[in-house]
Amino acid sequence: MSKYIVVGGLMLASISFIAAAQAAATGAGQSYPQRPIRIIVPFPAGGPSDMQARLIGIKLGEATGQSVVVDNRGGAAGIIGTELAARADADGYTVIMLSATNAVQPSLYPKLPYDLVRDFVFITPVTYGPGIVVVTTSLQVRSVSELIAYARARPGRVSFGSAGSGAPSHLAVELLKVMTHTDMVHIPYKGMASALTDVIGGQLQLSVPTIAAGLPLTRSGKLRALAVTGAHRSPVEPELPTVAESGVPGYQASNWYGFAAPEKIPRPIVGKLHQEFVRIMAAPDVRDKLLNVGMEPTISTPAQFTEFVKAEMRKWADVVKTAGVHAD
């Protein structure tokens, strides 16, 4: 495995490289934890954040000998749970699972009750999950370049569905529109399932679900897959090209998940948590379970993760402004 991988234009250290560097780690933080740890998930149970938090939480509990409780605090597009984490005691016993949604929120909600960079310490990303561009089978396009040509010839007449305004499935297409100077109409839904149903039925032309949601439909012939939205091909479907390979150089729009803690958490505890997350993400059974749902295990140092989140915030702020995206 290479020492580094590229996500969102940033170099992130690979799991094997960081695990080796941490093998001799000693010092402060070794007595932590001494009581249960809470993982706040700012979304309802059953979603990708919840699934990953529970999988990793079980492993963290096994490694530390303490129970790990997943606390789902959904509502307000993740803002309620994120504020709760920002205001929690900074003692290492409350962490939050962040996602790409958190990097978009400052652009959609200028009066957030917290500052993502100021109020949190970023520990490490844990997964990276590209979307998949799918179209209705009645649409006579078989690549992203053909889709772009089709949309350019029909400005304002190609529609796409998303899980809601500002969702990754929405912004992935807005970024494509900005980079290709195309005019496609956004139709927001309250969840991806309804949007995909209408793409299957031909009421919409396309959508960009997660790989986990989209692949079963493309493999069954209900939808046609054109590309994945990540910086590299997905190991789940390696023959499917990226959007960047398909005529849009530099395109990359993927979801990601990672852990953070309240800003004043003691740094030795950050080091201890980081060490445990690296070990967990290197475990073959964890990697296999995540890859099976289209999520690629990905870790970095806290400093790298901080720079990555900042870059994501800048990137999506530009897209939101240029495309005129507004929250529901």
Where b means 16+ CB within 10 Å and e means fewer, 260-278 reads: bbbeebbeebbbbbbbbbb
Domains and CATH numbers, the chain: 4-129+254-323 (3.40.190.150), 132-246 (3.40.190.10)
* pTM, two decimal places: 0.88
Beta strand 68-72 with 37-41 is: parallel
The tens digit of pLDDT for each residue in 123-148 reads 999 999 999 999 999 999 999 999 99
The tens digit of pLDDT for each residue in 180-191 reads 999 999 999 988
Distances (CA, A) of 89 to 75, 118, 129: 21, 15, 30
What percent of the chain shows pLDDT beyond 70?
Answer: 91
Mean of the pLDDT values across residues 290-319?
A: 95
CA distance 44 to 72: 6
* Backbone dihedral region for residue 210 (phi beyond 0: left; psi -120 to 50: alpha; all else: beta): beta
The upper half-sphere exposure of residue 164, i.e. CA atoms within 13 Å in the direction of its Cβ, equals 9
